[in-house]
């Protein structure tokens, strides 16, 4: 059985172009995949078989965008990318990010952002980028934090998850969802569980056949917190991988929920955006 599992995982990695199983955060992707596939009576195995390897760790193309030259190269750029895509999903989020990159003349740095804001926040940063005023102000606040050393690359990449969250939550416009996306997608931390993401909750409800205390039986991030934590507990300390497959369950409606033909809007009533497609 173990040999079959190893072969299965190897084939997944080969197909996805995953050449190294060592993640940016230092944990082993192969170990993580083996864990979630074996956990909880292999409930998630059928989803993995259908969807393949977790594409957030692919090496054939960019983790964040299909356009390789605009891939965030550092923590500052990644955070700007996340802020630009708040309350948006898929192509819309990418389009805003690319407009923002073009506004900086392909030079997304704290200094450039602050220079543009000084000339005119609305006319030289917000409007050309297509950002909301709140997002533009958040990106300026991020730029100031990096420019003054309040946030640094070394701090964000080497600190504990708790310290990273605390530092980022001190920036107006950065909430729990943005922290989760940064920790999971850029820093590649292994055990991120974005409970505030609507699609993650929908995926959990479908996979485990759960009804919650939210509207029409949906899972509520507050009232059903313990229920969802119990459902995902077997996947610790690799809930980031399991979370990826919760998104995929929702994305692939024709496969996992043929009776649900209505499209879910991406409005989050809590703090930040709920994503209805796997974040790119």
Residue pair 71/256 in contact (Cβ under 8 Å)? The answer is no
pLDDT at site 48: 96
Radius of gyration of the chain (CA): 19
Residue pair 54/244 in contact (Cβ under 8 Å)? The answer is yes
Q: Rounded distance, CA 108 to CA 70, Å? A: 10
Q: Rounded distance, CA 194 to CA 65, Å? A: 21
pLDDT at site 55: 85
Residue pair 231/204 in contact (Cβ under 8 Å)? The answer is yes
Burial class (CB in 10 A: 0-12, 13-18, 19+), 265: exposed
* CATH number given to 70-186: 1.10.340.30
Nearest CA-CA partner of 146 in 176, 112, 100, 97: 112
Structure token digits, residue 185: 């997608």
pLDDT at site 254: 65
Beta strand segments in 128-239, E? none
Burial class (CB in 10 A: 0-12, 13-18, 19+), 236: middle
Q: Rounded distance, CA 81 to CA 75, Å? A: 10
Dihedral sign, Cα of residue 178, residue 211, residue 223, residue 225 = negative
Residue pair 235/207 in contact (Cβ under 8 Å)? The answer is no
Nearest CA-CA partner of 181 in 173, 193, 172, 171: 193
pLDDT at site 68: 47
Beta strand segments in 137-191, E? none
pLDDT at site 247: 94
Structure token digits, residue 160: 């504990």
Query: What's the average pLDDT block by block, 10 residues per block, for the chain (280 residues)?
Result: 84 89 94 96 94 80 47 95 89 92 96 98 97 98 98 97 98 96 96 95 96 95 97 98 96 64 33 50
Intervals of CATH 1.10.340.30 along the chain: 70-186
Burial 43-67 (b: 16+ CB within 10 A, else e): bbbebbeebebbbbbbeeeebbbee
Intervals of CATH 1.10.1670.40 along the chain: 2-60+191-256
CATH topology of domain 2-60+191-256: Endonuclease Iii, domain 2 (1.10.1670)
Q: Rounded distance, CA 33 to CA 18, Å? A: 13
pTM of the model: 0.87
Structure token digits, residue 6: 């190893």
Burial class (CB in 10 A: 0-12, 13-18, 19+), 162: exposed
pLDDT at site 277: 58
């Amino acid at each position: 059985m173990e040999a079959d599992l190893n072969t299965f995982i190897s084939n997944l990695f080969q197909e996805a172009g995953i050449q190294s199983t060592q993640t940016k955060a230092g944990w082993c992707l192969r170990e993580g995949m083996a864990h979630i596939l074996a956990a909880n009576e292999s409930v998630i195995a059928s989803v993995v078989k259908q969807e393949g390897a977790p594409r957030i760790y692919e090496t054939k193309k960019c983790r964040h965008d299909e356009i390789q030259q605009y891939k965030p190269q550092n923590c500052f750029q990644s955070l700007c990318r996340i802020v630009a895509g708040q309350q948006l999903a898929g192509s819309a989020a990418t389009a805003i990010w690319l407009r923002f990159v073009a506004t900086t003349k392909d030079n997304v740095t704290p200094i450039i952002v602050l220079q543009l804001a000084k000339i005119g926040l609305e006319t030289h940063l917000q409007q050309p980028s297509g950002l909301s005023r709140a997002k533009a102000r958040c990106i300026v606040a991020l730029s100031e934090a990096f420019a003054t050393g309040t946030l640094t690359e070394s701090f964000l990449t080497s600190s504990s998850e708790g310290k990273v969250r605390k530092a980022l939550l001190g920036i107006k416009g950065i909430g729990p969802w943005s922290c989760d996306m940064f920790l999971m997608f850029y820093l590649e931390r292994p055990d991120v569980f974005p409970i505030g993401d609507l699609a993650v909750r929908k995926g959990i409800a479908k996979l485990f056949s759960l009804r919650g205390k939210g509207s029409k039986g949906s899972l509520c991030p507050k009232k059903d917190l313990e229920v969802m934590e119990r459902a995902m507990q077997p996947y610790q300390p690799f809930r980031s991988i399991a979370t990826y497959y919760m998104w995929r369950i929702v994305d692939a409606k024709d496969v996992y929920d043929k009776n649900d033909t209505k499209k879910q809007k991406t409005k989050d009533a809590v703090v930040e955006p709920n994503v209805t497609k796997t974040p790119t």
